[in-house]
Amino acid sequence: MKQYDVIIIGAGAAGLFCAAQLGQNGLSVLLLDNGKKIGRKILMSGGGYCNFTNLDVSPNHYLCQNRHFVKSALSRYTNWDFIALVASYGIAYHEKELGQLFCDESSQQIVDLLQAECEKGKVDIQLRQAVLSIEKFTNDKSANFFQVQTACDSFQTENLVIATGGLSMPGLGASPLGYKIAEQFDIPIVPIRASLVPFTWKEFDKPFAALSGISLPVSVTNREKTFVNQMLFTHRGLSGPAILQISNYWDMGETVEIDLLPSESIYDILQELRQSSPKLQLKTVLSRHFPKKLVELWFEQKQLEDKAIAQLSKANMDFLVNFIHHWQFLPNGTEGYRTAEVTMGGVDTNYISSKTMEVKNTQGLYFIGEVLDVTGWLGGYNFQWAWSSAYACAMGIAER
């Protein structure tokens, strides 16, 4: 049976980066993945340009039941460390908005970087190797070792790293193996759900589907957070960065409040115009501030009545303020794992060392990346968690 110092399951962002670090520290590393290619999610990420990290990374950009858990790893391997690595490969990048860093050319450059780093570390990458099960044994020196079973091979190691990611995008190789392994070792799973995910329409909101493709800046708020960014109407519901961000903080059955004109007050606009141009029609005024199709829909659906703005009563004005600045949107649900960028919840971090990612009661077993109960905001934070948790784990094993 083939033996390695370390076996890593999952050649995504976390698994590749961890493998490279370990290999470069002189350990023999086997990296197994069920797919035909490495880093498939990286290739899809950031619209093909990979938002690989953010200029402003702090623990506040992460959701985790154990809120201090991410601190150690994020400070040991920072966004600046990864930015320096990207720069050392001559990869040109740019800030899109809100500190989000993207490759100028293509996500493939990040995959190539990780592959080159793995080659430097002589990592044995084996693709099309779906791991079916693992078993733990204790050898005569009382050390744990793990046997990893794939469809056609079995391997042994004293250090097993689970980097199998979450359940989002099943077409890219997602599997529940990581959660099953956690359960096998009595580690609880914080309930999982699709996140960074679009909302779907309830029946009564379906007329908005006609606006599919229209995007506008909004502010979206719920009991916990407010995000100001673009919102996109789709055939199925609402999407865009503002919506994806709030989905991290949303529970089924809750409404979110959407301000469709976050940088101005419709009340002030109308009051001013009532003095200067009282004969202007409401529809004309609204069309100056919102996409035409949206305004047309409001009037078609009889949500608003067109009249000269001088004739707007106080009740009309209050209605408009509420309607535009306080849209109470009740999602039917989300699009689920099919389109979600991440899986919220996962392996309970109370059972994991925040310094090394090792399971506290099982020596030699590690969890890194998205399989853990750590979810970042949209904006490069999930990849940064992959790099930072992978590095913590690699150093934990290498320094042993």
What are the residues binding ligand FAD (CB under 6 A)? 9-15, 32-35, 40-41, 44-46, 50-51, 130-131, 163-165, 168-169, 173, 175, 177, 341-342, 369-370, 380-383, 386
- CB of 40 or CB of 325, closer to ligand FAD: 40
Residue 108 CA from chain centroid, whole number? 19
What is the Cβ-side half-sphere exposure of residue 220, based on CA atoms within 13 angstroms?
Answer: 27
- CB of 309 or CB of 380, closer to ligand FAD: 380
How far is 166 from 345, CA to CA, in rounded Å?
9
Residue 158 CA from chain centroid, whole number? 31
Q: How far is the CB of 13 from ligand FAD (least distance, A)?
A: 4
Q: How far is the CB of 192 from ligand FAD (least distance, A)?
A: 13
Contact of 77 with 391, CB cutoff 8 Å: yes
| CB neighbour class for 191 (10 Å; exposed up to 12, middle 13-18, buried from 19) | exposed
Beta-carbon count within 10 A of 296 CB: 16
Q: How far is the CB of 24 from ligand FAD (least distance, A)?
A: 18
Q: How far is the CB of 375 from ligand FAD (least distance, A)?
A: 8
- CB of 46 or CB of 364, closer to ligand FAD: 46
- CB of 180 or CB of 289, closer to ligand FAD: 180
Q: How far is the CB of 262 from ligand FAD (least distance, A)?
A: 24
Region of 86 (left: φ > 0; alpha: ψ -120 to 50; beta: rest) is alpha
Output the six-digit token pair for 373. Answer: 């109960």
How far is 356 from 354, CA to CA, in rounded Å?
6
- CB of 32 or CB of 220, closer to ligand FAD: 32
Q: How far is the CB of 325 from ligand FAD (least distance, A)?
A: 31
Q: Which long-range contacts (CB under 8 A, 24 or more apart) does 153-158 make?
A: 153/2, 153/126, 153/129, 154/1, 155/1, 155/2, 155/3, 155/4, 155/7, 155/30, 155/32, 156/1, 156/2, 156/3, 156/4, 157/3, 157/4, 157/5, 157/6, 157/7, 157/30, 157/364, 158/5, 158/364
- CB of 72 or CB of 126, closer to ligand FAD: 126
Q: How far is the CB of 48 from ligand FAD (least distance, A)?
A: 10
- CB of 33 or CB of 259, closer to ligand FAD: 33
